[in-house]
Amino acid sequence: MYRIIAKLILVAGIAGGASSAMAATPVAWEFKVNDKAISTATTSPYRTEEDVVMVPLRITSEQLGYRVHWNAKQQYISIDAPYQIISLKENTRDIHVANDFQAIPLAGDFTLDSQVVKKQGVTYVPATFFERLFNTVEIGPKSVTIAVSMSYTTDTNAPANSPADNNSISVVE
Rounded to the nearest integer, the mean pLDDT of the chain is: 78
Give the strand order in the sheet containing 84-88: 67-71, 76-81, 84-88, 94-99, 108-111
pLDDT above 70 (res 22): no
pTM, rounded to two decimals:
0.70
pLDDT above 60 (res 144): yes
All residues at 6 or more sequence positions from 5 whose CB lies less than 8 Å from its CB, including other chains: none
> Which residue type is seen at 31?
F
User: How does pLDDT run across 46-102, given as a tens digit for each residue?
Assistant: 999 999 999 999 999 999 999 999 999 999 999 998 778 999 999 999 999 888 666
All residues at 6 or more sequence positions from 170 whose CB lies less than 8 Å from its CB, including other chains: 152, 153, 154, 155, 164
User: How does pLDDT run across 31-42, given as a tens digit for each residue?
Assistant: 999 999 999 888
* pLDDT reported for residue 36: 95
DSSP string, 146-163: EEES-EEEE--SSPTTSS
All residues at 6 or more sequence positions from 139 whose CB lies less than 8 Å from its CB, including other chains: 53, 127
Find the helix or strand (DSSP H, E) in which 67 lies.
Answer: strand 67-71
Is residue 118 within 8 Å of 95, Cβ to Cβ?
no
> Which residue type is seen at 18?
A
